[in-house]
């Protein structure tokens, strides 16, 4: 006769963990980050490290304040993911304190004050981004032109100096190196009555979207496909985001091709692809049912287009995601899937 | 679900297979216990036969300590449950409370028998001429022989058959899709005794008045399909269809199997008989054949003893009442790193605190797991709403929402989101990257819902009683008032009468 400890069924489990899910998402971001570095220089890598450092700092402080164990939550990579997604949204030479303030809002306010991992209503990375975008518009719009135009030879060291001191190498000035983003150029151009085809003559534009941007978007999409293949994200959200943007911009473009960019340009501009695969797919602040995810994604796409076309900002993905985060619980309520036998 | 006539549509059961939502492809690990033929273990020193083995009440024992019993002798019965029999001949040592085969470690009344080694049968009463026997006698024989569902629910077979006959079911489904990993007792039975299963199927079909039988087996069971089909052909039975279904856990669940075979869903809160179907386990069919054709009661069953914690896993044909430890010994014992003993499979089986508990009609598998098997890769983390659980849920529920609702005691919402439709298969729990013990939460939540239903009922009754009392008091008050009024009236009348009686003619006083 022998005695045994008891424990609840099921008596086995998959070897998957929260940390592994987050790591897979981070891994899927790598191609896009490399492309980003290629086109816009090493500044982005510094921003990622900075944001990650601040995110982990605030995460540990908040865990300490909340009396939570540090190790499992620091090791879950959720704060790192927030930081990386945020860093991918800001200009690569933005000053260091931008990351600090954004992560303060992302981690402390959007995440931990709502109850920490899994409890946040809003996407923390987007909250951080929106706070600094609204508060420091000048720093947040100092974008560089992509590779082919950037012949200033800013290396890693120069980027570090710029980010931490704000001083450019002697031969350069902010006015010469920063340029409006393609979306910005398009918006102001159309508003001043120029034709889209004319605006697109600018060297800022590539085949679809902005030069460089479209390739970064491609690589992000590739990472997104990897996540779909690994079933880390479901297909509903990216399909709905991109699908709704294409479907909604199509009639405008067909009616007036001079006043409206063609659908693929919308898709490959700004942060849309990144958002479709990596930001709107955040499960915590998104919808749970498949139908709900379709509605959520379509909402993100539609609001983005509306802001791009009629709003005050050249890109509206971040606002769209936060607005849909608000709607998610309501959507969930009305999209409960049919149960077996119901 | 809207079908023109689901009962008619269900007649096509097994003609083509369908999918059900969710489920998991699990590593089945069945081969480790299928390598050697099934054998009977040596007689143990004592047999412990619990008096509570079926859904229902504890059976009333017919024997007392010191009695000599024969193999197959009825030792307990509780109407309308199935009977309980002595698994071998010997002496009743005691009738006392022993540890039950239950995870709570509760005890229950058991008949302890010391075998005399003779294995002497009681006189059996087989039904030889099945074709000329009424359904009632067949069903009665099943009750006498203590036949119960051997798939795990141990619902008495005679009750289910009676109910099925009353509801005019047309198709009997024999469930041979043993979807839990490790368990192989049904597969071994189908390999070794296909003709007995076919006989049992025909008897059950007759008792039920059903038209056809569909036997569902898993696609990885090799030659089992051929064996069963051949057995059916030999019996010249054309109404038996053997269907291979793709192995996805938990398709052996009654509702999932029905979906796979018919494409239809059993209505929520309903039963398979709503679709004209009744499900039985293949082992139950074999037991039915034994009971009717040989008169043998249910005193032994196929049981798998397996897992990484067992030295030489295998299947046994074990007597009811055999202590687990005896079977484990017959397998060469435990390995050193054994950590948990489970009755049933790794997904839905329940753990027992001691291997002294006996084999009962419900035990299909003894699974010894090692520490490595049961260790989760991390401690519980908060839910990140990734949705893996709802993707895996065979009942199409949203486990992540239910979990939150239960944690926050939102009982109305939990009920609305179908907590009671949860079949506790463990799929959500298995895939959860946060390793939240979802099934345990759901069991707790279901308990709370049931409790609430009872309380609501109690308050309803109390309220009705209160209202009835109020009404009665009011009525009495009114009656009393009326009575008073009448009496007053009478008095008044009398007074008036007297005054008139005092009048000279006095006519009314006579009246």
The string of pLDDT tens digits covering residues B120-175 is 999 999 998 888 889 999 999 998 899 999 987 888 899 999 999 999 999 999 99
**Same-domain check for residues A43 and A72:** yes
The answer to whether B98 touches B113, Cβ cutoff 8 Å, is no
- The CA dihedral of A67, A71, A75, A80, to the nearest 10 degrees, is 40
Mean pLDDT of the A192-209 span: 76
Residues of B in contact with A76 (CB under 8 A): 381
CA-nearest residue to A281 within chain B is B386
* DSSP letter assigned to residue B156: B
In the prediction, which pLDDT does B506 show?
Answer: 47
Q: Which one of A7, A8, A9 makes the best mutation probe of the B interface by having the most chain B beta carbons within 10 Å?
A: A9
Residues of A in contact with B355 (CB under 8 A): 1-2, 4
**Same-domain check for residues A35 and A171:** yes
CA-nearest residue to B267 within chain A is A341
Question: pTM for the whole thing?
Answer: 0.87
Task: Read off φ and ψ for residue B219, nearest 5 degrees.
Answer: -70, -15
Mean pLDDT for all residues in chain A: 89
Alpha carbons A277 and B214: distance in angstroms, whole number: 46
A13:B440 CB<8 A: no
Residues of B in contact with A123 (CB under 8 A): none
**Same-domain check for residues A20 and A130:** yes
**Same-domain check for residues A247 and A264:** yes
> Does the CB of A71 have a partner CB in chain B at under 8 Å?
no
**Same-domain check for residues A165 and A207:** no
**Same-domain check for residues A144 and A209:** no
In a domain, A5, yes or no: no
Helices (H) and strands (E) counted in chain A, each on its own, are: 17, 0
In the prediction, which pLDDT does B501 show?
Answer: 67
Residues of B in contact with A289 (CB under 8 A): 390, 398
Q: Does pLDDT of B351 surpass 60?
A: yes
Summarised one tens digit per residue, pLDDT across range B445-497 is 999 999 999 999 999 999 999 999 999 999 999 999 999 999 999 998 888 87
Report which of B127, B153, B178, B160 is spatially closest to residue B289, judged by C-alpha positions: B127
Chain A, 263 to 302: residues with Cβ < 8 Å from chain B are: 283-284, 286, 288-289
Summarised one tens digit per residue, pLDDT across range B366-415 is 999 999 998 888 889 999 999 999 999 999 999 999 999 999 999 999 99
Alpha carbons B187 and B283: distance in angstroms, whole number: 10
Summarised one tens digit per residue, pLDDT across range B25-66 is 999 899 999 999 999 999 999 999 999 887 777 888 889 899
Residues whose CB falls within 8 Å of the CB of residue A194, separated by 6 or more in sequence, listed in order:
none
Alpha carbons B1 and B418: distance in angstroms, whole number: 16
B373:A72 CB<8 A: no
- N- to C-terminal Cα distance for chain A? 48
CA distance B316 to chain A (A): 19
Alpha carbons A128 and A55: distance in angstroms, whole number: 11
Residues of A in contact with B398 (CB under 8 A): 288-289, 336-337
**Same-domain check for residues A231 and A320:** yes
Alpha helices in B76-223 (DSSP H): 135-144, 157-166, 185-192, 194-208
In the prediction, which pLDDT does B172 show?
Answer: 95
DSSP secondary structure, B397-456, as one string: --HHHHHHHHHTT-HHHHHHTTGGG-----HHHHH-TT---HHHHHHHHHHHHHHHHHHH
Preceding omega of B495 cis (within 30 degrees of 0): no
Which of the four pLDDT bands, split at 50, 70 and 90, describes residue A46?
A: very high
More confident residue, A162 or B254: B254
Tell me the pairing of strands B212-218 and B171-176.
parallel
> Does the CB of A4 have a partner CB in chain B at under 8 Å?
yes
Summarised one tens digit per residue, pLDDT across range B88-127 is 999 999 999 998 887 777 888 999 999 998 889 999 999 9
CA distance B281 to chain A (A): 22
**Same-domain check for residues A25 and A156:** yes
B384:A3 CB<8 A: no
**Same-domain check for residues A226 and A152:** no
Q: From the list B103, B347, B390, which residue is nearest A10 (CB)?
A: B347
Which of the four pLDDT bands, split at 50, 70 and 90, describes residue A26?
A: very high
B421:A339 CB<8 A: yes
The answer to whether A303 touches A324, Cβ cutoff 8 Å, is yes
Q: Does pLDDT of B299 surpass 60?
A: yes
**Same-domain check for residues A46 and A80:** yes
Q: Report the SS3 class of residue A142.
A: coil
> Does the CB of B63 have a partner CB in chain A at under 8 Å?
no
In a domain, A1, yes or no: no
Sheet holding B84-85, edge to edge: B60-61, B74-77, B84-85
> Does the CB of B466 have a partner CB in chain A at under 8 Å?
no
B381:A72 CB<8 A: yes
> Does the CB of B382 have a partner CB in chain A at under 8 Å?
yes
Mean pLDDT of the A55-69 span: 95
Q: Looking at A130, A145, A179, which one is the last position of a domain?
A: A179
CA-nearest residue to A115 within chain B is B382
On the 0-12 / 13-18 / 19+ scale of CB atoms within 10 A, B38 is buried
| Tokens at B398, concatenated | 């949203």
Which of the four pLDDT bands, split at 50, 70 and 90, describes residue A147?
A: low
Summarised one tens digit per residue, pLDDT across range B216-241 is 999 888 889 999 999 888 887 788 99
Q: Looking at A134, A160, A179, which one is the last position of a domain?
A: A179
Q: Looking at A157, A179, A201, which one is the last position of a domain?
A: A179
CA-nearest residue to B444 within chain A is A8
* DSSP letter assigned to residue A276: I
In the prediction, which pLDDT does A195 show?
Answer: 78
| Tokens at B352, concatenated | 């027992």
Instruction: Report the domain count for chain A.
Output: 2
Summarised one tens digit per residue, pLDDT across range A286-301 is 999 999 999 999 999 9
Which of the four pLDDT bands, split at 50, 70 and 90, describes residue A160?
A: confident
The answer to whether A142 touches A173, Cβ cutoff 8 Å, is no
CA distance B341 to chain A (A): 7
Chain B, 423 to 452: residues with Cβ < 8 Å from chain A are: 424, 426, 429-435, 437, 439-440
A9:B432 CB<8 A: no
Domains and CATH numbers, chain B: 7-13+31-303 (3.40.50.11540), 304-374 (3.10.20.600), 380-511 (1.10.1060)
Mean pLDDT of the A322-335 span: 95
In the prediction, which pLDDT does B509 show?
Answer: 45
In a domain, A286, yes or no: yes
In a domain, A265, yes or no: yes
Q: Report the SS3 class of residue A108.
A: helix
In a domain, A8, yes or no: no
**Same-domain check for residues A204 and A318:** yes
In a domain, A71, yes or no: yes
Alpha carbons B178 and B34: distance in angstroms, whole number: 13
Instruction: Note down the domain range covering A63.
Output: 16-179
Q: A271 to each of A101, A315, A317, B371, how far by Cα in Å?
A: 21, 8, 7, 47
Residues of A in contact with B374 (CB under 8 A): 7, 11-12
Q: Does pLDDT of A148 surpass 70?
A: no
> Does the CB of B353 have a partner CB in chain A at under 8 Å?
yes
Residues of chain A with pLDDT > 70, as a percent, come to 98
Helices (H) and strands (E) counted in chain B, each on its own, are: 16, 16
Report which of B204, B198, B249 is spatially closest to residue B224, judged by C-alpha positions: B198
**Same-domain check for residues A229 and A312:** yes
In a domain, A105, yes or no: yes
| Tokens at B392, concatenated | 């895996």
> Does the CB of A17 have a partner CB in chain B at under 8 Å?
yes
Report which of A170, A175, A139 is spatially closest to residue A153, judged by C-alpha positions: A170
In a domain, A87, yes or no: yes
DSSP secondary structure, B188-247, as one string: HHHHH-HHHHHHHHHHHHHHHT-SEEEEEEETTSTTHHHHHHHHHHHTT--SEEEEEE--
> Does the CB of B4 have a partner CB in chain A at under 8 Å?
no
In the prediction, which pLDDT does A204 show?
Answer: 75
Q: From the list A15, A17, A336, which residue is nearest B398 (CB)?
A: A336
- N- to C-terminal Cα distance for chain B? 78
ipTM of the complex: 0.88
Which of the four pLDDT bands, split at 50, 70 and 90, describes residue B3?
A: low
Alpha carbons B180 and B314: distance in angstroms, whole number: 16
């Amino acid at each position: 006769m022998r005695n045994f400890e008891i424990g609840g069924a099921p008596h086995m489990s998959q070897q998957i963990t929260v940390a592994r899910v987050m790591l897979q998402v981070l891994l899927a971001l790598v191609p896009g980050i490399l492309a980003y570095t290629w086109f816009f220089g090493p500044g982005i890598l510094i921003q990622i490290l900075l944001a990650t450092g601040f995110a982990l700092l605030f995460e540990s402080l908040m865990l300490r304040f909340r009396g939570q164990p540090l190790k499992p939550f620091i090791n879950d990579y959720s704060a790192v993911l927030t930081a990386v997604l945020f860093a991918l949204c800001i200009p690569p030479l933005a000053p260091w304190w931008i990351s600090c303030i954004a992560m303060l809002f992302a981690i402390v306010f959007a995440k931990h004050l709502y109850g920490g991992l899994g409890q946040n209503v809003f996407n923390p990375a987007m909250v951080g981004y929106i706070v600094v975008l609204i508060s420091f518009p000048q720093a947040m719009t100092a974008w560089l032109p992509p590779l082919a135009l950037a012949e200033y030879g800013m290396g890693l060291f120069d980027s570090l100096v710029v980010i931490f001191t704000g001083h450019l190498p002697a031969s350069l000035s902010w006015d010469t190196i920063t340029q409006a983003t393609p979306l910005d150029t398009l918006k102001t151009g159309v508003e001043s009555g120029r034709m889209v085809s004319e605006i697109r003559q600018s060297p800022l534009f590539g085949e679809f979207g902005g030069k460089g941007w479209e390739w970064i978007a491609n690589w992000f999409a590739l990472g997104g496909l990897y996540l779909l293949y690994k079933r880390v994200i479901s297909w509903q959200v990216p399909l709905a985001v991109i699908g709704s943007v294409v479907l909604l911009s199509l009639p405008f473009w067909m009616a007036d091709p001079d006043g409206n960019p063609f659908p693929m340009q919308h898709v490959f501009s700004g942060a849309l692809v990144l958002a479709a695969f990596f930001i709107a797919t955040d499960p915590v602040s998104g919808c749970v049912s498949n139908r709900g995810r379709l509605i959520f994604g379509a909402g993100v796409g539609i609001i983005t287009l509306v802001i791009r076309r009629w709003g005050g900002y050249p890109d509206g993905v971040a606002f769209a995601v936060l607005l849909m985060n608000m709607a998610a619980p309501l959507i969930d309520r009305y999209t409960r899937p049919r149960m077996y036998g119901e | 679900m809207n079908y023109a006539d689901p009962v008619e549509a269900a007649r096509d059961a097994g003609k083509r297979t369908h999918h059900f939502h969710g489920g998991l492809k699990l590593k089945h690990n069945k081969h480790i216990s299928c390598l050697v033929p099934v054998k009977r273990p040596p007689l143990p020193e004592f047999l412990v036969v619990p008096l509570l083995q079926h859904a229902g009440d504890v059976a009333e024992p017919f024997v007392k300590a010191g009695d000599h019993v024969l193999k197959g002798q009825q030792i307990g019965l509780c109407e309308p449950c199935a009977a309980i029999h002595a698994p071998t001949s010997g002496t009743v040592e005691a009738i006392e409370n022993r540890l039950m085969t239950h995870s709570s470690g509760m005890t229950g009344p058991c008949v302890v028998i010391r075998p005399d080694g003779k294995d002497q049968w009681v006189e059996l009463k087989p039904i030889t001429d099945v074709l000329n026997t009424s359904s009632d006698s067949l069903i009665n024989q099943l009750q006498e022989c203590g036949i119960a569902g051997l798939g795990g629910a141990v619902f008495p077979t005679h009750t289910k058959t009676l109910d099925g006959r009353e509801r005019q079911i047309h198709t009997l489904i024999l469930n041979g899709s043993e979807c839990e990993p490790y368990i192989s007792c049904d597969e071994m039975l189908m390999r070794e005794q296909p003709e007995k299963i076919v006989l049992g199927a025909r008897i059950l079909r007759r008792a039920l008045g059903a038209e056809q039988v569909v036997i569902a087996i898993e696609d990885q069971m090799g030659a089992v399909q051929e064996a069963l089909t051949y057995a059916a052909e030999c019996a010249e039975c054309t109404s038996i269809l053997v269907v291979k279904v793709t192995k996805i856990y938990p398709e052996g669940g009654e509702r999932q199997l029905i979906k796979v075979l018919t494409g239809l869903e059993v209505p929520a809160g309903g039963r398979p008989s709503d679709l004209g179907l009744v499900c039985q386990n293949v082992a139950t069919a074999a037991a039915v054949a034994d009971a009717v054709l040989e008169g043998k009661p249910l005193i032994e069953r196929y049981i798998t003893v397996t897992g990484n914690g067992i030295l030489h896993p295998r299947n046994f044909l074990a007597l009811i009442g055999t202590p687990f430890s005896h079977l484990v010994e017959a397998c060469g014992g435990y390995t050193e790193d054994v950590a948990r003993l489970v009755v049933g499979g790794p997904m839905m089986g329940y753990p027992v605190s001691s291997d002294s508990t006996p084999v009962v009609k419900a035990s299909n598998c003894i699974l010894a797991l090692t520490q490595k098997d049961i260790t989760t890769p991390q401690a519980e983390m908060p839910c990140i709403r990734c949705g893996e659980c709802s993707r895996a849920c065979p009942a199409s529920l949203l486990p992540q929402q239910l979990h939150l609702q239960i944690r926050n005691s939102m009982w109305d919402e939990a009920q609305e989101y179908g907590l009671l439709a949860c079949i506790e298969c463990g799929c959500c729990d298995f895939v959860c990257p946060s390793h939240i013990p979802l099934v345990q939460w759901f069991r707790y939540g279901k308990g709370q819902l049931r409790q609430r239903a009872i309380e609501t009922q109690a308050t309803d009754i109390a309220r009705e009683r209160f209202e009835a009392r109020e009404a009665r008091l009011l009525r009495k008050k009114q009656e009393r008032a009326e009575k008073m009024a009448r009496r007053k009236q009478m008095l008044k009348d009398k007074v008036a009468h007297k005054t008139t009686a005092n009048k000279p003619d006095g006519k009314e006083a006579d009246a």
